[in-house]
A and B are shown apart, each in its own frame.
Chain A
Amino acid sequence: MLQMIIVFVLMLTGALLMLLAGIGVLRMPDTFLRMSATAKAGTLGAGLILLGAAIYFNDLAIYTRALAIVVFLMLTAPVAAHMIGRAAYFDGVPLWTGTVQDDLHGHYRRSTHSLEADMVPLPEQVNEVVEADDYAEEG
């Protein structure tokens, strides 16, 4: 009985966090903010649901599998989010209008895909703005 209560609490918390990730990805104003919702809330929700499954089955083989999935998720989620964020920024996806600070602005050279300490010449930035709407849809 106590075991089922713990399982239900863990699973409900995990499901609520997953719903939070879904609402975040739908309502956040900008690609990078959406990514922050999915990477954190999604991973924590999956981890809690896995923990609930491990406690429910209460078997060494299941504990090992659940631990393997949780460790793998926590290793790969930040790496994947970093790679998508990097690609999105370099691809010219606009930031939210309320963004306060953009440290990379003007330091990325499009022709060589490299970051530089000095400011990159202006024509490349104009080029970036023009290409940014390349595949934007209406609505």
Chain B
Amino acid sequence: MNDIIWSVILALISLALIAAFIRLVRGPYLPDRVVALDLISVLAMGFIIAYAVRFNQPNFLDVAIVLALITFLGTVAFAYYLERRV
């Protein structure tokens, strides 16, 4: 029973990742792609946390911390580049 629930949780996040990836590929503008990348990193963070709980590995939470820190810096750098480009 527990295995089924875990599979459902991870499958839902994977579906969200696929949807965000389709938006990343389709664009049509550069800000759309930046938004999709931002969402993909948040989804990957959620996936890592769910995986850490599923296999009882509390150390994986540190990966989520690093991912959260780097994502913000990347998004701000993209936004700064977009605004100064024109």
Contact = CB atoms under 8 A, between A and B. Distances in A.
Contacts, number: 171
Interface in B12-51: 12-13, 15-20, 22-23, 26-32, 34-36, 38-39, 42-43, 45-46, 49-50
For the residues of B in contact with A, the DSSP-based class is helix
Chain B interface: which size bin? Answer: 35 or more
A15 B65 contact: no
A22 B21 CA distance: 9
Kindly list the 7 A-B residue pairs having the minimum CB-CB distance in the complex, ordered from nearest. A22-B16, A22-B19, A88-B31, A83-B79, A87-B82, A15-B12, A87-B83
Interface of B: 2, 5, 8-10, 12-13, 15-20, 22-23, 26-32, 34-36, 38-39, 42-43, 45-46, 49-50, 52-53, 58, 61-62, 64-65, 68-69, 72, 75-76, 78-80, 82-86
